[in-house]
């Protein structure tokens, strides 16, 4: 879609004192990069460091001096951000624009994290870190880190129950409520549904097709643009041609009920009904064509959300064996609205679907849903960078082979950039060699 990637290159030196990394988004795939190294080479520390710097969270930024690194340089479309650690463990932050003019120079001290609790110092420290965080965000945007403990978030149960209480759907307290990973899947599917529906609603509301319909009708009628010089039958054929075109482009949006087409279907039925005369179509043309143009534009604006729903469902259902994930924006027949996990049940040579609790999914199934949902959530809300540590956790060989393919599809129409740190040769097989950053051990002379 022509979205410029904000981050051009990330270079790190002296991770855990010994290892360098270079992640270059300017060569090869500009949106997806992998990091590979053996255990103990600072890979996870690098991911945390990048996230702490670009998260937009001042508490995380205060942790930067505690990280084991010597230098971190982030080149962006706007300039360069450089963090250099001194021998006293403080870190010098400098931000330069593309003309090499220094815009900001600040010191991050290891003691700032503890001093922030001191009432006399906290305001000064907080203001300084807010200023640093704001300036970094202007250059890098916001990052999200999905660590290896992503299904063990102890706050997930609380967040999920608060959400259910707000929706008046709180369940009775049972042992299942303590299944944290199941609640995380519930939560991430709700977040995904909210993000997609919100984007679709915003697109539909602000669509070009939502403005000027009636003014176009008035203009057509007053300026006699109804095609009155044509025969009624020709006008009717033009209207039918327009209806067929809309039917062709609305299939995916209609499949997930992102736009209400009841009125359109009613008009279609009336237009296609046999009639003894077609003179009335000359008058209808002035009214229907602006309506159809408006609807067509609205479909085009909502189509990206429908495509993301389709990509997510196709990815999950291609890899799942005896389960599927479905989507219903309205939650018909008492089911949950949004995404629902269902099990395929065989009975008397027939198959049916039964809704299941995400807590009953296998670890691999939970990880797969979580990761792909997070990719779409980050893509739709405008995150700049998604960082994933060891995406292969609990994924079988086949799923590892397919994973990168579906990540690319879920992020395709966005400006989201992704970094994955992995030990899996199966996942790396889907990368070009130029898109994999290997750890390089510094060679130091011993005197």
pLDDT tens string 85-142: 998 889 999 999 999 999 999 999 888 876 655 555 578 888 899 999 999 999 999 9
Q: Is residue 32 part of a domain?
A: yes
118 and 225, same domain (yes or no): no
Q: Are 12 and 85 in contact (CB under 8 A)?
A: no
Q: Is residue 348 part of a domain?
A: no
Supply the range of the domain harboring residue 265. Answer: 209-298
**pLDDT tens digit sequence for 371-398:** 999 999 999 988 999 999 999 999 999 9
Least confident of 181-195, 212-226, 335-349: 212-226
Q: Which helix (H) or strand (E) holds 93?
A: strand 91-97
Q: Is residue 190 part of a domain?
A: no
pLDDT at 231 over 80: no
Q: Is residue 326 part of a domain?
A: no
138 and 232, same domain (yes or no): no
129 and 239, same domain (yes or no): no
Q: Is residue 195 part of a domain?
A: no
Distance CA 318, CA 339 (A): 16
The CATH number given to whatever domain includes residue 133 is: 3.40.50.300
413 and 292, same domain (yes or no): no
118 and 41, same domain (yes or no): yes
pLDDT at 446 over 50: no
Q: Is residue 165 part of a domain?
A: no
Q: Is residue 325 part of a domain?
A: no
Distance CA 111, CA 71 (A): 19
Most confident of the ranges 2-6, 61-65, 274-278, 335-339:
61-65
Distance CA 209, CA 215 (A): 12
Q: Of 266, 298, 330, at which residue does a domain stop?
A: 298
Helices (H), 250-391: 251-255, 262-272, 281-319, 363-381
Stated pTM of the model: 0.84
Which residues, including other chains, have CB under 8 Å from residue 389's CB and lie 6 or more apart? Answer: 43, 44, 47, 145, 146, 147, 148, 421
115 and 217, same domain (yes or no): no
Q: What average pLDDT does range 290-312 have in this prediction?
A: 90
288 and 415, same domain (yes or no): no
Q: Which two three-digit tokens encode residue 39?
A: 């255990």
More confident residue, 10 or 162: 10
What percent of the chain is predicted at pLDDT more than 90? Answer: 51
102 and 24, same domain (yes or no): yes
Give me the number of domains the chain comprises.
Answer: 2
Q: Of 241, 265, 298, at which residue does a domain stop?
A: 298
Going by pLDDT thresholds of 50, 70 and 90, the confidence category of residue 2 is very low
């Amino acid at each position: 879609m022509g979205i410029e990637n904000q981050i051009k290159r990330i270079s790190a030196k002296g991770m855990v004192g010994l290892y360098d990394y270079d992640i270059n988004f300017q060569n090869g795939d500009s949106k997806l990069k992998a990091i590979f190294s053996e255990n103990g080479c600072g890979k996870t520390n690098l991911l945390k460091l990048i996230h702490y710097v670009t998260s937009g969270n001042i508490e995380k930024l205060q942790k930067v001096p505690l990280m084991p690194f010597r230098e971190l340089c982030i080149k962006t479309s706007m300039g360069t951000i450089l963090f250099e650690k001194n021998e006293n463990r403080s870190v010098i932050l400098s931000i330069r624009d593309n003309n090499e003019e220094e815009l900001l120079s600040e010191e991050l001290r290891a003691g700032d994290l503890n001093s922030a609790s001191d009432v006399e110092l906290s305001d000064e420290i907080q203001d300084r870190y807010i200023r640093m965080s704001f300036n970094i965000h202007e250059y890098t945007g916001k990052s999200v880190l999905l660590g290896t403990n992503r299904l063990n978030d102890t706050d997930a149960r609380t967040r999920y129950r608060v959400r259910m209480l707000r929706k008046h759907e709180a369940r009775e307290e049972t042992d299942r409520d303590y299944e944290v990973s199941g609640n995380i899947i519930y939560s991430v599917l709700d977040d995904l549904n909210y993000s997609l529906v919100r984007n679709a609603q915003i697109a539909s509301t602000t669509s070009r097709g939502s403005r000027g319909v009636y003014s176009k009708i008035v203009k057509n009628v007053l300026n006699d643009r109804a095609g009155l010089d044509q025969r009624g039958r020709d006008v009717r054929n033009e209207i039918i041609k327009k209806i067929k075109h809309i039917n062709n482009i609305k299939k995916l949006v209609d499949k997930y009920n992102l736009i209400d087409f009841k009125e359109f279907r009613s008009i279609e039925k009336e237009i296609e009904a046999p009639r003894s005369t077609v003179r009335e179509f000359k008058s209808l043309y002035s009214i229907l064509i602006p309506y159809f143009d408006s609807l067509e534009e609205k479909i085009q604006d909502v189509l990206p959300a429908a495509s993301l729903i389709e990509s997510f469902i196709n990815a999950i259902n291609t890899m799942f064996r005896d389960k599927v994930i479905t989507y219903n924006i309205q939650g018909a027949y008492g089911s949950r609205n949004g995404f629902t996990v269902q099990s395929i049940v065989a009975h008397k040579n027939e198959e049916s679907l039964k809704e299941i609790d995400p807590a009953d999914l296998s670890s691999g199934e939970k990880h797969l849903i979580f990761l792909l949902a997070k990719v779409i959530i980050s893509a739709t809300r405008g995150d700049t960078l998604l960082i994933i540590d060891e995406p292969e956790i609990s994924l079988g060989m086949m799923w590892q082979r397919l994973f990168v393919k579906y990540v690319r599809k879920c992020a395709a129409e966005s400006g989201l950039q992704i970094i994955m740190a992995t030990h899996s040769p199966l996942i790396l097989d889907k990368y070009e060699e130029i898109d994999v950053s290997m750890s390089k051990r510094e060679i130091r002379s011993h005197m």
